[in-house]
Amino acid sequence: MYNGLEHTAIASPDPKKLAQWYVDNLGFHINHTYDVFFFVKAPNGSMLEIIPSEGGWTTPKMKDRGIRHLAIAVDDFDAGYADLKSKGIKILVEPYETQGNRLVFFEDGDGNIVHLIHRQKPLP
């Protein structure tokens, strides 16, 4: 009956600009738009919907309540990290390794928390 997540929505003051950020920086493509809503799709098929925001913004902290980050899988961690740095993307936590997995946290174009992850062994 339930098939899993179809997409995750992010509210942005400029949905088109944030959608383009994911295209320009993380290899997504805009696969559907309507009105002021943008769906961006990653090479692995996962999708984000970028919607217009309302109200103010509070800078998220790594462990605030609610959804805290988007994890982007990479085949080559070093190349992905070098690419982020070359684009001037704000790195929040320097790369580290835990349980054989390599991670680095950074901000997207609106300041949402995102991280790269390369797993030594895929999750079951």
- 106 lies in which domain range? 68-124
Confidence of residue 108 (pLDDT cuts 50, 70, 90): very high
Domain count for the chain: 2
Position 85: which residue type? Answer: K
* Distance from C-alpha of 105 to C-alpha of 92, rounded to nearest angstrom: 5
Q: Are strands 29-34 and 37-41 parallel, antiparallel or unpaired?
A: antiparallel
Q: What is the pLDDT of residues 57-84, one digit of tens each?
A: 787 788 888 888 999 999 999 999 999 9
Cα–chain-centroid distance for residue 124? Answer: 22
CATH number at residue 42: 3.10.180.10
Q: Which residue from 105, 30, 31 is spatially nearest to 72, judged by alpha carbons? A: 105
Residue 3 backbone class (left: φ over 0; alpha: ψ -120 to 50; beta: rest): alpha
Secondary structure class of 117 (helix, strand, coil): strand
13: in domain: yes
